[in-house]
Amino acid sequence: MGNPGAPGQGQPGQVWQLREFKIAKTSHGSTGANRLTFKPVTVKENPFGGLFSTTFDQSDFRYTWFMDDFLESVDKLTTLSGDINDIQLKNSREALYNAGQSTVDNSNDYLNQLLPEFNLDLRDRIQAELVRLGRDSVFTPADVANRATTQSCAGCHQLSAGDSLGNNVTWPVEDTALRFVHVREDGELSTALTDFFLPHREGVLEDFLAAHADGNTCSTPTTSAALAVESDEAVPTLGGATTH
């Protein structure tokens, strides 16, 4: 809604692993017949876990760039709002670092990757950025890493459950029956959905309807939306989010 022409999105949840696909209209061979295809793309706001540790190939330019660019994300990650919907993992080159899949294990646990014995340099740089922002009394580098994990697929679905995020904020905990999924086969919804995500979306929808009560219509399809399939760029939702 509010972004007609954007590609459909599929996010299958294979057991303990999440991936993302774009639904795209393509022409079939010489016949030119249109068909819908599921194109595999990277998982958004989900950096490859190894980038947080020194195990990543340090001759790869992304290793150095990521350490610089992640600092750009600290501001929005450490929002002083108590609403988990306001946490964002954004930087100007984030598409370079997205993983191909998000697995529920230590490979996608950014705090585990950031432990001092793995990447003391990045941890110290995050601490310096917190000092610069004046938030070092509220957040630690561990909080920043945990907040980054919440934005990943595996973090949102399971890894972050019950994690302390600093500023007296904790990621929702699910009962055993709802671990990994947000919607059970019988329709039961997770605490994260009922208490946090859905109320936020309700507010976004109410604001949208109020803004268009005078008859204003949605925008027309945009070139950026059409290109999103090929470029693998995230297309924001009506509320501006690209995850959850």
DSSP 50-109: GGGSTTS-TTSHHHHHHHHHHHHHHHHHT-S-S-GGG-----TTGGGTB-S-EESSGGG-
Helix, strand, coil percent content, the chain, rounded in steps of 5: 45, 15, 45
Asked if residues 129 and 135 have their Cβ atoms less than 8 Å apart, the reply is: no
What is the pLDDT, as a whole number, of residue 74?
98
Confidence at residue 49, expressed as pLDDT on a 0 to 100 scale: 95
Same domain, 59 and 143: yes
DSSP character for 193?
I
- Give the tens place of pLDDT for each residue, 167-187: 999 999 987 766 788 888 888
Decide if pLDDT at 135 tops 70. Answer: yes
pLDDT at 219: 61
pLDDT, tens only, 193-230: 999 999 999 999 998 888 887 766 666 555 544 545 45
Residues 46 and 148 in one domain: yes
Q: Are 132 and 150 spatial neighbours (Cβ–Cβ below 8 Å)?
A: no
Residues 121 and 199 in one domain: no
Q: Is residue 9 very low, low, confident or very high in pLDDT (cuts 50, 70, 90)?
A: low
The whole-number pLDDT of residue 23 equals 86
Structural domain harbouring 148: 42-166
Same-domain status, 65 and 157: yes
Query: Percentage of the chain with pLDDT > 70?
Result: 79
When pLDDT is averaged across residues 10-21 and rounded to a whole number, the result is 73
56 and 152 fall within a common domain: yes
DSSP three-state, residue 8? strand
The answer to whether residues 49 and 158 belong to one domain is yes
Asked whether residue 35 is assigned to any structural domain, the reply reads: no
Q: Are residues 162 and 185 in the same domain?
A: no
Q: What domain count does the chain have? A: 2
Identify whether residues 190 and 153 lie together within a single domain. Answer: no
Q: With contact defined as beta carbons under 8 Å apart, do 226 and 5 qualify?
A: yes
Q: What is the pLDDT of residue 224?
A: 47
pLDDT at 46 over 90: yes
Position 98 scores a pLDDT of 95
> How much is the pTM?
0.82
Distance CA 191, CA 212 (A): 31
pLDDT value at residue 18: 92
With a cut of 80, say whether residue 126 has pLDDT above it.
Answer: yes
Instruction: Compare 150 and 234 and report the one with higher pLDDT.
Output: 150
Residue 2 lies in a domain: no
Position 232 scores a pLDDT of: 57
Instruction: Specify the pLDDT at position 182.
Output: 85
Both structure tokens of 21:
């696909």
Does 50 share its domain with 154? yes
Backbone angles phi, psi at 203, to 5 degrees: -65, -40
